Amino acid sequence: MVFGLFKKKEPIKCKIKSTGEEFDISRDTSLMNSALKANIKWPHSCKAGGCGSCRATIVEGEGKYPASPCVPESLLHPEEMKNGMVLACQWYPKTDIVVDVELGKEGDKRGIIY
Contacts with ligand FES by CB under 6 A lie at: 44-47, 49-54, 87, 89
DSSP states of 29-88 as a string? S-HHHHHHHTT-----SSSSSSS-TTEEEEEE--EEPPSSS--GGGTS-HHHHHTTEEET
> Phi/psi class of residue 88: alpha, beta or left (left: φ > 0; alpha: ψ in -120 to 50)?
alpha
User: For 10, which DSSP code?
Assistant: P
Q: Considering beta carbons, is residue 10 or 91 the nearer one to ligand FES?
A: 91
**Which of residues 16 and 54 has its CB atom nearest to ligand FES in the complex?**
54
Q: Report the nearest approach of ligand FES to the CB of residue 47 (Å).
A: 5
Nearer to ligand FES (CB atom), residue 4 or residue 51? 51
- Closest to ligand FES by CB, 13 or 47: 47
Query: Residue 28 Cβ, how far from ligand FES at the closest point, in Å?
Result: 18
State the minimum distance, in angstroms, from the CB of residue 44 to ligand FES.
Answer: 4
